[in-house]
Amino acid sequence: MKVINLVLLAVLIFSKVCNAQISEWREENRTGVSSETGLLKSWPAEGPTLLWSNLELTKGNSSVSFGKNMIYTTGTKDANDILYTLDMSGKLLWQTAMGRAWTQSYPESRATPTVEGDKVYTTSGYGDLACIDGITGKIIWTYKARELNKGTYGMWGIAESLLIDGDVLYFTPRGPETMTIAIEKATGDLIWKSVSLNDKPGYVSPILINYAGKKTIVNVSLGNVFAVDASNGEILWKVAIEKPAGYNWDLIMCVTPLHANGMVYVTGGYDVGGMMIKIGEDGKSATVVWTDKVLDVHHGGVVLVDSYIYGSNWLNNADGNWCCIDWNTGEKKWEEHWNCKGSIISAEGMLYIYDEKRGNLGLLKANPEKFDLVSSFKITQGDSGPFWAHPIIYNGVLYIRHSNALMAYDIKAK
């Protein structure tokens, strides 16, 4: 195993020890890489066994998170975003209106709940934060974070999953007053707010890293990759995101950054491409090491496996290729067309890719030499619309969301 994968493994273990009860966006430490073991390495032609499906949800692009024998996801009903809670057999237990829904372009919920113990933390499409009792569905507190901090939003509202560390949670209003705020997890009271970079919001869920003796929130707006000291809100560094030549409208940044050993990879779609940023040894500076125009990810995420980055690029809004590039250099290893671009996660050296246009789900070996497809099948449940929710693996089960449907597939090796 290469050194960089050992670093990533250590980060995942540290995260599970320190945050054993946290379930959040894109698995452990928001890497998209699951620590699950003992999984199938191939599927039958019709796909793995479907344990259950639930078609009672309203439309949403949220993934799922987990609490004490409960599953949480979101949907949109009328003018509200709704938190849905199911038991582990897929039965709907209760639903709670959690805040004002985004009602303009693509008015479906999109932010994955963050769960710690028996508390669920959510943000709505308009930036209304809530802490909800995960057992009863009772609202514990609410906070109109975007509104009260003069925050802004893009053409598709707010798509940020809340970040938790200890007694604090973080949110990104952006706009003329502040970029990032810290809130008391128990009460919803404001602790601090950073200065503003006067930048427009992206649709990114940030990451929390430990580097150079600092806990740092690494985030992406439309004009900058930036880092915030988690203890006091100080902006530690920022790196400008360059628009492609002739690009006369706002960028659309949707991809959670990757971090390993003081290096941060960010990618953007729409021909923005990607870049690798090296954080200075003092944690207060950053420089661009390399850029790439291959892995130009729209909103399906990226994963790092054994020193290689995998994901799908943006050719246009209706198409894209699956790609692999070298973490250390940005060199393209391969680029392959398979159905359409989409989302990606990884476990046990395998890649799970979910085509956003037709709902094809593929299982690949994480192989830098070629697009190494082992198995695939097609998701047929759920109302019409794109397949945008990211897959997630939990206790040997692969959870797939499409529109109003949530499905659970048994992928545990027998």
Mean pLDDT of 5-32: 65
Nearest to 125 by CA among 77, 193, 85: 77
DSSP 255: P
| CA distance linking residue 168 with residue 161, whole number of Å | 14
Instruction: Judge whether residue 85 has pLDDT over 70.
Output: yes
229-277 pLDDT tens trace: 999 999 999 999 998 888 878 888 999 999 999 999 999 999 999 999 9
Contact assessment for residue 74 and residue 96, using Cβ atoms and an 8 Å cutoff: no
**Within a 13 Å sphere around the CA of 311, how many CA atoms are in the beta-carbon half?**
33
CA neighbor of 304 nearest in space, from 364, 361, 351, 271: 351
d(CA 228, CA 128): 22
Task: Please report the pLDDT score of residue 17 as a whole number.
Answer: 39
Helix (H, G, I), strand (E, B) or coil at 381: coil
Strands 114-116 and 360-365: unpaired
pLDDT of residue 111: 94
Residue 104 to residue 157: CA distance in whole angstroms: 8
State residue 4's pLDDT score: 47
Question: Quick one: pLDDT at residue 47?
Answer: 97
Average pLDDT over residues 66-86: 96
Return d(Cα 144, Cα 373) in angstroms, integer.
45
Q: How far is CA 183 from CA 106, 125, 197, 278, in A?
A: 29, 19, 20, 29
| pLDDT reported for residue 14 | 41
Tell me: the pLDDT tens digits for 179-218? Answer: 999 999 999 999 999 999 998 888 999 999 999 999 999 9
pLDDT at 16: 42
Residue 3 clears pLDDT 50, i.e. is over it:
no
pLDDT band at 43 (very low <50, low <70, confident <90, very high): very high
Q: What is the mean pLDDT of residues 155-159?
A: 91
The secondary structure of the chain in percent helix, strand, coil, rounded to multiples of 5, reads 5, 45, 50
Farthest CA pair distance, the chain: 55
pTM for the full predicted model: 0.94
Name the nearest CA neighbour of 178 among 233, 236, 99, 239: 233
In the chain, % of residues over pLDDT 70: 95
Residue with tokens 């995420």: 301
Mean model confidence pLDDT for the chain: 94
Domain boundaries, the chain: 3-410
Q: State which fold the 3-410 domain adopts.
A: Methylamine Dehydrogenase; Chain H (2.130.10)
Quote the strand ranges of 234-314, DSSP E.
235-240, 258-260, 263-267, 274-279, 286-292, 303-305, 308-312
Output the pLDDT for position 128: 97
The label of the residue with tokens 């779609």 reads 269
Mean pLDDT of 87-106: 96
- In the chain, the amino acid numbered 315 is L
* Rounded distance between C-alpha atoms, residue 194 and residue 215, angstroms: 15
pLDDT at residue 100 in the model: 96
What pLDDT score does 21 carry? 83
The pLDDT value recorded for residue 18 is 42
The DSSP element (H or E) to which 53 belongs, if any, is strand 49-54
Distances (CA, A) of 395 to 36, 278, 411, 413: 7, 35, 9, 12
User: Tens of pLDDT along 322-371?
Assistant: 999 999 999 999 999 999 999 999 999 999 999 999 999 999 999 999 99
Q: Can you give the length of the chain in residues?
A: 414
pLDDT at residue 60 above 50?
Answer: yes
Q: Would the pLDDT of 320 be above 80?
A: yes
